[in-house]
Amino acid sequence: MKIGMFTSGYQRFTLEEAFKDAREFGYDGIELWGGRPHAFAPDLKAGDLKHVKDLIRAYGMPIIGFTPETNAYPYNMMIGAERMRRESLDLIKLSMEMAKELGAGFTMISAAHAGYLTPPAEIWKRLIENLRELTAYAEEIGMDLILESLTPYETNVICTCNDLLRVFAELESPRSLSMVDVCPPFVQSEPVMTYFDKLGDKLAHVHLVDSDGASDSHLVPGDGKMPMKQLVRQIAKSGYRGYVTIELVTMYMNDPKLYSALAIERVRDMLGGEG
């Protein structure tokens, strides 16, 4: 099992610190968070792309995928006026371009909250309209676009595996893919491994964290309520051969070095000889 590091938790440090730790602790690749101060797509386009490429070469650490920040202010393709939607889609398109420049395997997005007063039919119409445009651009430039499900604490759009299947029933494209972050199914009492069963070859990535079962908190594996050892081994036995990113985010950004080291040590121990 190939293990990736997510760089969001390092946002109070230089991006080089993340690369340095990833190599030292034995990670196999970087899932690059596309937010400031590290890898915001417009900043990459303006000249920062060279710096990230230099880090890739210096530390021998490939970019697994690029994950622009599209769940929070000011970018959310699912809410607001047409100008706001347009700006969000333009950011994602630019992110795909930058991901391709970095040799990333995919660009990952999610459908953030569409607003409590928005009718379901309007939510779905906007989602599919957005995804059709983005998928067409992904096909044009040759980039895989991964759609992630989120917890109900984060969104009212795409939360379950069945939601993803409904999307794929309307979007037929080899560039339109998905993944499983193990937190959303766990907090909704949805068996995690059903994502592997239902999505098949559409499942292209995994986010591995622990969960308290009652929030969207992403915990170091072993610190929550999930049977992590058993889950990690089930994933390893499933035949999945892609990357698994340990997605530590802002909860640990006071000292990401310590928690990044702890997380991969625990996951390697859980795998035993089965990785």
Residues forming the active site: 148, 247
d(CA 173, CA 127): 16
Of the candidates 204, 250, 206, which has an alpha carbon nearest to the alpha carbon of residue 228?
A: 206
d(CA 92, CA 103): 16
- How distant, in Å, are the alpha carbons of 38, 61, 93, 145 from that of 136? 28, 30, 10, 10
- Token readout for 53 is 């490429």
- The maximal CA–CA distance of the chain, rounded, in angstroms, is 52
Task: Give phi and psi for 56, each to the nearest 5.
Answer: -60, -45
Bin 68: left if φ > 0, else alpha if -120 < ψ < 50, else beta. beta
**Cα dihedral angle (120, 126, 127, 132), rounded to 10 degrees?**
150
- Token readout for 186 is 């766990």
Bin 190: left if φ > 0, else alpha if -120 < ψ < 50, else beta. beta
d(CA 156, CA 150): 9
Tell me the three state secondary structure of residue 90: helix
